[in-house]
Amino acid sequence: MAKIPEKWLVVITVLLGTFTIILNNSMLNPAVPHFMQVFDADAVATGWVITIFMVTMGMVMPLTGYLGDKFGKKQLYMSGLTLFLAGSVLGSLSWDLQSLIFFRGLQGIGGGVMMPLSMALIFEVFPKNERGLATGVWGIAAMMAPTIGPLLVVV
């Protein structure tokens, strides 16, 4: 069996991370009515489960370049992944709507670190003439996750 080149392992790793982040957000949209029933809350309150993820992700993204240069891209990506996973596990154990919103915010911070670093890590390991192919493969995750996410909730 042939060994996969290290640069493609980077693409696979960040592709899976990107896919999980986008999937995580897109699959919760159809679940808002269920959250309304479970937490006995209105649509505005349960909408924050979706909104807080995007807000925290958007707040962190602009800082990622600076932090990546200061602490290292790989180290920061792994920290973002750890925070995202911690938010996911804790979110699944949420005891009320406020705790779920808080843990989704943690997920958003982790995702906000991971998303921009995905491209930076790919550009770091691929020469210019191969970046188009690598980012195209990576882009598959960004395109497929929103289409698969809602189906997973229905099924």
This prediction has a pTM of: 0.88
**Each residue's pLDDT expressed in tens, for the chain with a length of 155 residues:** 567 788 888 888 899 888 888 888 878 888 888 889 999 999 999 999 999 999 999 999 999 999 999 999 999 999 999 999 999 999 999 999 999 999 999 999 999 999 999 999 999 999 999 889 898 888 887 788 777 766 665 54
In a domain, 55, yes or no: yes
In a domain, 38, yes or no: no
Q: Which domain does 85 fall in, by range? A: 43-154
CA distance 81 to 117: 11
In a domain, 135, yes or no: yes
In a domain, 25, yes or no: no
Tokens read off for 51: 């909104």
In a domain, 148, yes or no: yes
CATH number at residue 105: 1.20.1250.20
Count of structural domains within the chain: 1
